[in-house]
Amino acid sequence: MTPEIINLSRDPAHVRHGSNVGQPLTRRDGILKVKGEARYAADNHPPGMLYAVLAVSSIARGRVSFLDVPAAKRHPGVVEVMTPANRPPLAENPDAKTNPFMFRLDLLQNDKVRYANQSIAVVIAETLEAATEGAALLAPQYDVLPARIGLDSNESFVPPVVGIGNPSEVRRGDVEAGLAAASKRIEATYETPAQYHNAMEPHAIVVAWDGDKLSIETPSQGLAMAQGRIAGLFGISPANIHIRSPFLGGGFGSKGFISGPQLLGILAARLVGRPVKLVLRREQMYGPVGYRAPTRQTMRIGVDGDGMLTAMDHHAKTVSSTFDDFFEPAADASHTLYASPAIATSHEAVRVDTGTPLFMRAPGEATGSIVLESAIDEMAFACGMDPLAFRLKNYADVEPISGKPFSSKALRQCYAQGAERFGWAKRPLAPRAMRDEAGLLVGWGMGTATFPALMFQAEARAVVRSDGSGVMETGAHDMGQGAWTAFAQIAADGLGLDLEQVEFKSGTSDLPDAGIAGGSAHTATAGTAIHNAGAAVIAKLADLAMGDKRSPLFGAGNAGVIARGGRLHRRDDETRSESYGDILGRAGLAEIEARDNSAADPAAQSNYAMHAHGAVFAEVKVDPDLGQIRVTRMVGAFAAGRVINPRMVRSQLFGGMIWGMSFALHEQAVMDPRSGRILNANLGEYHIPVNADVPSLDVLTVDEHDPHVNALGIKGVGEIGITGSAGAVANAVWHATGVRVRRFPIGIDDLVMGLTG
């Protein structure tokens, strides 16, 4: 297996000026990636390694009646074929659930098929080619049952919870009375499609057993969670499982939990007694590793004669698999923004023959916000009001459902700064009122962005050495967003050192648990643990100095000290200082260490609503004859607390805005209702934006100090950009054409029918 993770603190791209935090440093792993030297999971080739390839079902429901295992094993190079008949035993039932973050897995426990692309066998061979050809020779046969696919394919029910533990129905005030009293009302139904994670790096695992010890290379957004799940399934101690995940080629939620295919790689290695590599092909990712469920959402909104909301009712219908529970909390998007005296949100679901939907970037918020923002825009037009003015009039100063205060001033600044940069004041109210010099219809739309400011639990270990250097360790995850760069900046400031003096270690399961990289919470979670660990080790160092009569800091306990530049300075007299090396040298210590952790403050959580906010403005051009849509520019203004690295934050916000545009115009999985198979399970026909689709993006970050979210004031930026952008593009298309398409992504056929009808 590969050596331990590289030291990411070497060769800094910039010499810092002032604080490390807040500096727009380039990513510290960038050179390795550009040169092709960054080693991802599948790049590892331990001695004696075999290749494993999945054989997957071509039906969505039924059972496997025949596999030609002898034919596959006769193929030169094939070593073994793993099926339900010879799969090694597990210590736990993969269909068992003991906590809300545990999902059922397909690990060849029987011959039942629950969805298309489910694993039905694993072929293990000396070469990838032999394993692939052996899988084809299995020639499976099935007893087929009709596939239940789509929102109307099965009996609907009210799920007990949506998301993770959220109530499926929430009500405040009398919605029906509010709608009855309204002077204007709208009721509209919208549909969003199934969407699949398409990270550049597919799920992969390279695994080797040594007795009851496991060495694993695999991409993971949650090392400790993966370690615990593997330990339970295989009946071994988590301490015997060493997972390395130094680089992830994207995750978007799909790598938050160890998946069935990765676990099959571990089982395959146990079966053959040799190291094994298993990598999913692109089309095999459409099924066993989660997806964003389709929805059908109905919005009912009423306003009074002054354009003030009287009621909002947001109902969402979604799907889960036939064998597990995850329900997209789409309607919950209406909980947090608009000050209606009566709000109701509710969900229903059907069970379908697909893999279990799971967390996908901005789960619930992405699907719900495009509907909410489209409906708010439609209501503004019905009132004859500018969409921005309507939002400002109805924006809440406290969270509407909970009544908790939050930083509403920040969103108002986002509205103002984004509108000014975009030139929103020149927007005509009426649709189809603008054309460019080529005769294309021009439309401007906007959407409000919001995402909860979450925080989980994490731990970090800090070390100060007698040579004046420092070490910071935490098992954090970098999915390509530059997390390690930001964490190193926090570590340097926490230790009072220059960035080049700090060795930052991360990406392996033997380091302190950094929590999960999800919910846009990783920087806040792991970053706060890093900050606290740095403070803890500096406190220990200060105790040494202030208790030593030979130190110029002796007796400074009441005044305290400041750590800066590898020295401790008295707060009341900064000319009295001492280096870390001198303090440790007199104490006879080569180094001093401390651990600390992070967690959300229960008191702050109970008293304040915590969100990041933003506003997105979009311009589109539409061919009036062909219905072809082009997004020509987007401007986003976001308030997301303290910015650790402006360069990385802008990159994340750009990514979210592009995904929002993709949601509105490009992305959908097309499913064959007869077979339950996805017809566009590739990157040729599963449409996502390319550079030519995004000609102009502009991001503003609005200064915000929120003292309640965490000690560093950090809010996440990974997902918020989706929530305003999808609605902004959809509303711009309406403004250009006068056609309100309520099925996403907006298709040329829907638009042309409206333009010519």
- How many Å apart are CA 320 and CA 316, to the nearest integer? 13
d(CA 454, CA 249): 23
Alpha-helical runs (H) found in 300-441: 365-382, 387-394, 408-422
**Amino acid (1-letter code) at residue 475:** G
Q: Cβ neighbours of residue 676 under 8 Å, at least 6 residues apart?
A: 59, 60, 61, 115, 116, 147, 148, 149, 353, 354
| Active-site residue, selected from the candidate residues 80, 378, 473, 719 | 719
Q: Which helix or strand (DSSP H or E) is residue 138 part of?
A: none
What are the C-alpha distances in Å from 525 to residues 424, 460, 532, 556, 604? 37, 10, 11, 32, 15
Let me know: does 483 contact 523? Beta carbons within 8 Å: yes
Q: Which residues of 290-318 are buried (b: 16+ CB within 10 A; e: fewer)?
A: bbbbbbbbbbbbbbeeebbbbbbbbbbbb
Contacts of 551 (CB under 8 A, 6+ apart): 545, 578, 582, 583, 586
Rounded Cα–Cα distance for residues 140 and 118 (Å): 13
Cα within 13 Å of Cα(99), Cβ side: 7
Q: Could you tell me the CA-to-CA distances from 125 to 72, 80, 108, 129 in Å, in that order?
A: 10, 7, 19, 8
Torsion of CA 363, 367, 370, 373, to 10 degrees: -70
Pull the structure tokens for residue 354. Answer: 């697909």
Closest CA to 616 of 693, 697, 737: 697
Pairing assessment for the beta strands 343-352 and 78-82 based on DSSP bridges = unpaired
* Residue (of 634, 595, 606, 646) closest to 722 by Cα position: 634
* The two three-digit tokens of residue 168, written as one number: 């499926």
| 80 belongs to the catalytic site | no
Comparing CA positions, the residue from 563, 562, 560 lying closest to residue 546 is 560
Q: How far apart are CA 65 and CA 435, in angstroms?
A: 61
Q: How far apart are alpha carbons 489 and 508 in whole angstroms?
A: 20
**Residues with active-site annotation:** 719
